Amino acid sequence: MKNVAIIGAGLTKFGSHWDRDLVSLSVEAGIKAVHDAGISKEDVDALYGGTMSAGLFINQEHLASKLADFSGFRNIPSTRVEAACASGGVAFRQGYLDIASGMNDVVVVGGVEKMTDVGLHSITKALATAASHTYEANLGATFPGLYAMIAKRHMHDYGTKETDLAEVSVKNHENAIHNKYAQFRRKINVDDVLNSQMIADPLKLLDCSPITDGASAVVLASADVAKKVCDTPIWIKGSGHAVDTISLHDRKDITTLNATKEAARQAYLQSKMTSNDIDCVEVHDCFTIAEILAIEDLGFAKKGEGGKFVSEGQANIGGKLAVNTSGGLKAKGHPIGATGVAQAIEATLQLRGDAKNRNTNAEVAMAHNVGGSGGTSTVHIFSRDR
């Protein structure tokens, strides 16, 4: 397989864009990425775009054609990828595999979601399609409810406390202050989290990622192209993708996301690295308990000790492992299809040395994206060294 690098990156501001549509957000991120890469649109061989539910959010499908059209790309392959909240991560992997296989040399991978054009009931209904309709959504289960069950079980089995969950939120809000693209750039404290509105016991409002509009894009290139046009290529060293049961009731242990463990195993094996080699990681903290699970499932802490890892400061910048330096989904925001690509962008900025909230001297970074309650997961490992 060919070596593949990220040579360009572009983001929109994450938040509520009442005056913008999905297409304009996508075009903005794509133009930024192509400009950052120092290439022209004519150099691009293919497009991949991650988006979960444009049909329900904005009544628009066939996005592969529409986004290519409005971005000025004609007569090249354009593929829309859907994998719930892991849509961006899976799109990124498809772009990587395209170049690694030798099919193409330059690929643009984007992610986008426009979520605020409909009411809360419609948003909840759209998000529920990422769960099992028959066994979960149809019986009234929402994603806060599903992750609340996971949190309750983790607390029961391992003694995790509500304050451990709150510390995740506090850390990520602190990190987001330095991210100009983040939705929430303000400090909070543990009491703020504990006293916020209960959503699904034990998860409160400030334990949950927000409803977000936004887009992200990267330009991927083969080694031959990257060496010619980019002074600071960021190399994709490992890529993993796995799935698990879509329903919680079919899992042996709901406090372990086996899709994450398997995707990580693949990425570690390909990169010839272990968890000890990772300097910073963007994990899928759709809820605070999800960050704790990721820290454990990716091998950074023993099972049951993820909460302690965060509350002791080991996940802080300057700690053992910098987790969610961007602010994570919790504070940066979670425009579903854009999240996986945005995580790769944060890894790129960290390794380039361009992040305002930089983990000093980071050499290796990771991005971890999850769909639903763990039905899909992708893990990517990045390095400054080829």
Closest among 381, 203, 382 to 299, alpha carbons compared:
381
- Say if residue 321's pLDDT is above 80: yes
- How far is it, in rounded angstroms, from Cα 322 to Cα 367? 12
What mean pLDDT do residues 148-155 have? 98
Task: Give the CATH fold of the 120-208+236-383 domain.
Answer: Peroxisomal Thiolase; Chain A, domain 1 (3.40.47)
CA distances in angstroms from 24 to 9, 68, 213, listed in the order given? 17, 12, 11
Contact (CB, 8 A) for 44 and 76: yes
Q: What are phi and psi of 12, to 5 degrees?
A: -95, 165
Lowest mean pLDDT among 219-233, 329-343, 351-365: 351-365
User: For the segment 3-41, what is each residue's pLDDT rounded down to a tens digit?
Assistant: 999 999 999 999 999 999 999 999 999 999 999 999 999
What's the whole-model pTM score?
0.97
- Say if residue 359's pLDDT is above 90: no
pLDDT band at 345 (very low <50, low <70, confident <90, very high): very high
pLDDT at 244: 98
Provide the token pair at 356.
């305002």
Q: Residue 361 class from Cβ within 10 Å (0-12 exposed, 13-18 middle, 19+ buried)?
A: exposed
Provide the token pair at 140.
């009234």
pLDDT band at 353 (very low <50, low <70, confident <90, very high): very high
- Say if residue 76's pLDDT is above 80: yes
Which residue in this structure is represented by tokens 């009234």? Answer: 140
Report, in this order, helix, strand and coil percent for the chain, each rounded to 5: 40, 20, 40
Q: Residue 75 class from Cβ within 10 Å (0-12 exposed, 13-18 middle, 19+ buried)?
A: exposed
Provide the token pair at 144.
């806060």
pLDDT at 74: 86
Q: What are phi and psi of 365, to 5 degrees?
A: -130, 160
- Say if residue 360's pLDDT is above 80: no
User: For the segment 202-241, what is each residue's pLDDT rounded down to a tens digit?
Assistant: 999 999 999 999 999 999 999 999 999 999 999 999 999 9
pLDDT band at 375 (very low <50, low <70, confident <90, very high): very high
Same topology, domains 4-119+212-234 and 120-208+236-383? Answer is: yes
pLDDT band at 78 (very low <50, low <70, confident <90, very high): very high
pLDDT band at 331 (very low <50, low <70, confident <90, very high): very high
User: For the segment 101-111, what is each residue's pLDDT rounded down to a tens digit?
Assistant: 999 999 999 99
pLDDT at 357: 80
Residue 75, classed as helix, strand or coil, is coil
Contact (CB, 8 A) for 264 and 240: yes
Q: What are phi and psi of 240, to 5 degrees?
A: -130, 145
The residues assigned a catalytic role are 85, 334
Q: End-to-end alpha-carbon separation of the chain, Å?
A: 13
CATH of domain 4-119+212-234: 3.40.47.10
pLDDT band at 382 (very low <50, low <70, confident <90, very high): very high
Q: In sequence order, what E strands does 244-289 have?
A: 280-282
Contact (CB, 8 A) for 341 and 109: yes
Half-sphere exposure of 85 (CA within 13 A, CB side): 29
Task: Name the amino acid, one letter, at 277.
Answer: D
- Say if residue 358's pLDDT is above 80: no
- Residue ranges covered by each domain of the chain: 4-119+212-234, 120-208+236-383
- Say if residue 157's pLDDT is above 90: yes
User: For the segment 273-300, what is each residue's pLDDT rounded down to a tens digit?
Assistant: 999 999 999 999 999 999 999 999 999 9
Q: Residue 97 class from Cβ within 10 Å (0-12 exposed, 13-18 middle, 19+ buried)?
A: middle
User: For the segment 42-61, what is each residue's pLDDT rounded down to a tens digit?
Assistant: 999 999 999 999 999 999 99
What mean pLDDT do residues 60-76 have? 94
Provide the token pair at 109.
């991978």
Contact (CB, 8 A) for 132 and 250: no
pLDDT at 386: 86
